[in-house]
Amino acid sequence: MTHRKVRLLLVDDHALVRSGVRALLEAHDSPATTLAVVGEAATAEQALQLVGALAPDVVLLDLSLPGRSGIAALPDLTAAAPGARFIALSMHEDAEYVQSFLAAGGSGYVPKTSLETELVDAILAVDRGEYYVPARLLAALTRELAHPDPRRAAQLTERETEVVRGIASGSTYREIARTLGLSEKTVATYRERASEKLGAGSRAELVRWAVERGLV
């Protein structure tokens, strides 16, 4: 039997989470596969510095990183390591976030509440070239794709669209304001206008609208 060593880069801003994930992966006992964490990063910038040098097979990427979010950094990470596969580690369990991550180039999605039961399976699946989404999220994603909300045909202004794109990418009001040269109050106003036009009552609904139009 051929033994496979899967090289992993772990990206999460919480040291305790990284420690727990490392321990979980090191406890994986299989004659066919070893899961080896070859590097750790706490920010997207650190991940970009490491991913090319370490050439990991799989990157475990927290979506809620300080500064630049995991989704926002994903295109650059995939460009720096075209052979790597990316799995989101996320506190969000909404189909919109799953779709956003996969559309940006990800291969798997594991809620942090399910790391112990789902993470190893996700790593092994994406390492085989497959995609991995927990069954409950896959069912929700399928429903969303099968029954899109017609209210999302509404037209936004260029600024409203830019703000929604920033929100869908995981950026904060402060980050969006700095990027667009606006005040945080103005960003909030554009978000309110966009939400009203789209009938979106939550951030997740704005993310879905952005994903459906390929904005992230």
> What is the CATH classification number for the domain harbouring 196?
1.10.10.10
What pLDDT sits at residue 104?
Answer: 82
Q: Which of 144, 96, 98, 100 is nearest to 118 (CA)?
A: 98
Q: Over its length of 216 residues, how does the chain's per-residue pLDDT go in tens digits?
A: 678 999 999 999 999 999 999 999 999 988 899 999 999 999 999 999 999 999 999 999 998 888 788 887 888 899 999 999 999 998 888 777 788 788 888 999 999 999 999 999 999 999 999 999 998 888 877 776 666 555 544 578 888 889 998 998 888 999 999 999 889 999 998 898 888 888 787 888 888 888 777 776
- The β-bridge partners of 61 are 11, 88
What pLDDT sits at residue 146?
Answer: 67
What pLDDT sits at residue 150?
Answer: 52
What is the token pair recorded at 157?
A: 């202004």
Can you give the pTM of this predicted structure?
0.71
Which residue, 104, 139, 174, sits at the end of a domain?
139
Number of Cβ atoms within 10 Å of the Cβ of 136? 12
Which residue, 106, 139, 172, sits at the end of a domain?
139
Same domain assignment for residues 64 and 166? no
Q: Which of 23, 7, 13 is nearest to 85 (CA)?
A: 7
Q: How many domains would you assign to the chain?
A: 2
Same domain assignment for residues 135 and 165? no
Give, in order, the Cα–Cα distances in Å from 106 to each of 30, 44, 84, 176: 26, 15, 10, 23
What pLDDT sits at residue 147?
Answer: 65
Same domain assignment for residues 104 and 196? no
Core vs surface per residue 68-105: b (16+ CB within 10 A) or e: bbbbbbbeebbebbeebbbbbbbebbbbbbbbbbbbbe
Number of Cβ atoms within 10 Å of the Cβ of 146? 7
Same domain assignment for residues 201 and 121? no
Range of the domain at 156: 150-212
What pLDDT sits at residue 153?
Answer: 47
Residue 152 is given by DSSP the state: G
Residue type, 60: L
What pLDDT sits at residue 152?
Answer: 47
* 145, part of any domain: no
Q: How far apart are CA 58 and CA 86, in angstroms?
A: 6
